[in-house]
Structure 1
Amino acid sequence: MKPLIGISTYLEESAAWGTWDLPAALLPVGYPRLVQRSGGLAAMLPPDDPAAAAGVVARLDGLVIAGGPDVEPVRYAAEPHPRTGPPARERDAWELALIEAALASGTPLLGICRGLQLLNVALGGTLVQHIEGHVSATVGTFGEHPVKPVPGTRYGALVPEEFTVPTQHHQSVDRLGAGLTVSAYAADGTVEAVELPDPQWVLGVQWHPEMADDTRVMAALVRAAS
């Protein structure tokens, strides 16, 4: 039986399709398609009562925390930077609860972009609220840059070569969360991947694997969840 992989979603006040313009819980299709191409079953997890997170995670074989808006700085005891986006408090509360439940239960966990940042915050780390050079100059598109793995890490074993990845973010890891190890860097020194040591399978990547053809990272999550 294919493992069931839950993916957190956006929560938008207005989304348009066909003749409709309504509040929606949504997700770019690249996320479920990447799970499916990697051998898993995809389930969307819209924001809910954080108290429900442990019960939800108990029904999953693996968890993906998707990309999205900036984490509210109050979550890591910081004042907002002028370039920090508006808060998504329901997502922050829900996804932090999902992460905590996955860590407590040993459920394999992959954080993507915002997901990496939330993982770092959940473990007591902080964020750089604005960096230059990792956001595409064209609104609504992804840029790309090479990422260099750290030998001897989980990510380094999955992708041992320097690899060009799709990227679209303006925040990054500052102080590393408790227990995390950096497993990839950009050329400018920006942290691009973090992980927890074995035996728990926990990895966060700053880029967007759902926007590319390479399945190595997601397939590793699906294997761990099998």
Structure 2
Amino acid sequence: MSKPSIPLVAVTSDVRSFDNYTWHATPEQYLAAAIEGAGVIPLLVPSFGAAIDLDSVLATVDGVLVTGSKSNVHPSLYGKEPTTAHEPFDPARDATSLPLIRRAIELGVPLLAICRGIQELNVALGGTLATEIQELAERIDHRAPDTSQLAERFALRHPVLVKPGSCLAEIMETDTVQVNSAHRQAIDAPAPSLEIEALAEDGTIEAVSVKDAKGFVLGVQWHPEIWVKSDSPSRKVFTAFGDAVRAHRAARLSLAAAE
């Protein structure tokens, strides 16, 4: 009997320039969490915008992981004028990841969006973002501590309140989760099709799903990929994503076998 193959998951990539090369890359933590937490094989999708045939990508993989990044979604994509406070930008990623998000949702391909990913998810579906949220009234400082130590930078720092009866509540099996925080932008106006799944105590939107989605869609503002080995809530996010990916694959293979 042949061994069941491991599902493939498309992963977004940032465009970076160094050593006289242009690189399409993503931090290792996301890739390791996909392998160890979700039980899938991550494949990077280069950020070439319209040159990428998304239907071909999504016909090959059984999930999409939209990663965090130092860069921010360009404000012109949600109707605001860009300022230095919105920088840095990665227009090639925007041109690839936003259409990828929309198409994955249309086709019912499971999608997990983290940090920049939840912001891309919101913009892709028609929402807006706020920048420098630590300057807004009654908001806490969601930026990471100024340290190069990963454990300190991504330490679990504040609770998020999970909406009862939500997708996230089913995953977490609790109404409060302790999370890390490393962002200065956040969802402002949620897209009409988004369902708010969790809030920080200061009202910052920390998790969303998509209303009436054909498949699993979850966006989180924090970084579960960092502690997937040691923190139960972090692992539960990736386990739920991996389970959805395997279910999607099984349904796809069953349909193909019946044709």
TM beyond 0.5 = yes
Is contact 1:151-1:160 (8 Å) kept?
no
Query: Equivalent residue of 2:85, what SS?
Result: coil
Mapping of 1:146-185 within 5 angstroms? Answer: 146-161=159-174, 162-185=176-199
Pair member with larger Rg: 2
Give the aligned partner of residue 17 of structure 1.
none
Higher strand content, 1 or 2: 1
Mapping of 1:33-112 within 5 angstroms? Answer: 33-37=32-36, 38-51=38-51, 52-68=53-69, 69-112=71-114
Q: Read off the aligned partner of 1:207 and give its amino acid letter.
A: W
Count matched residues: 221
Task: Please report how far the alpha carbon of residue 166 of structure 1 lies from its aligned counterpart in structure 2 after TM superposition.
Answer: 2.3
CA distance in 2, matches of 1:135, 1:195: 23
CA distance in 2, matches of 1:54, 1:108: 14
Task: Please report how far the alpha carbon of residue 84 of structure 1 lies from its aligned counterpart in structure 2 after TM superposition.
Answer: 1.1
Query: Equivalent residue of 1:221, what SS?
Result: helix
CA distance in 2, matches of 1:84, 1:139: 22
Q: Choose the corresponding residue for 2:10, options 6, 11, 14.
A: 6
Residue 142 in 1 paired to residue 154 in 2?
A: yes
Query: Equivalent residue of 1:93, what SS?
Result: helix
Higher helix content, 1 or 2: 2
Moved more, 80-89 or 68-77: 80-89
Give the aligned partner of residue 222 of structure 2.
207
% identity of equivalent residues: 35
Give the aligned partner of residue 251 of structure 2.
none
Moved more, 138-147 or 163-172: 138-147
Task: Please report how far the alpha carbon of residue 21 of structure 1 lies from its aligned counterpart in structure 2 after TM superposition.
Answer: 6.3
Structure 2: which 5+ residue stretches go unaligned? 135-140, 229-233, 247-259
Question: 1:155-209: CA deviations, max 9, x gaps?
Answer: 1111133222222111111111121110011111100000013542111000111
Evaluate the alpha carbon distance shift between residue 62 and residue 124 of structure 1 in structure 2; reply closer, same or farther with a 3 A threshold: same
Task: Please report how far the alpha carbon of residue 139 of structure 1 lies from its aligned counterpart in structure 2 after TM superposition.
Answer: 4.8
Query: Equivalent residue of 1:13, what SS?
Result: strand
Residue 32 in 1 paired to residue 36 in 2?
A: no
Task: Please report how far the alpha carbon of residue 53 of structure 1 lies from its aligned counterpart in structure 2 after TM superposition.
Answer: 2.0
Query: Equivalent residue of 1:211, what SS?
Result: coil
Mapping of 1:182-197 within 5 angstroms? Answer: 182-197=196-211
Mapping of 1:125-136 within 5 angstroms? Answer: 125-132=127-134, 133-136=141-144
CA distance in 2, matches of 1:145, 1:9: 28
Is contact 2:209-2:219 (8 Å) kept?
yes
Is contact 1:71-1:118 (8 Å) kept?
yes
Task: Please report how far the alpha carbon of residue 212 of structure 1 lies from its aligned counterpart in structure 2 after TM superposition.
Answer: 1.0
TM-score (norm: length of structure 1): 0.91
Give the aligned partner of residue 245 of structure 2.
225
Is contact 1:54-1:98 (8 Å) kept?
no
CA distance in 2, matches of 1:103, 1:136: 31
Is contact 2:14-2:90 (8 Å) kept?
no
Structure 1: which 5+ residue stretches go unaligned? 15-19
Question: 1:103-123: CA deviations, max 9, x gaps?
Answer: 121101111111101111111
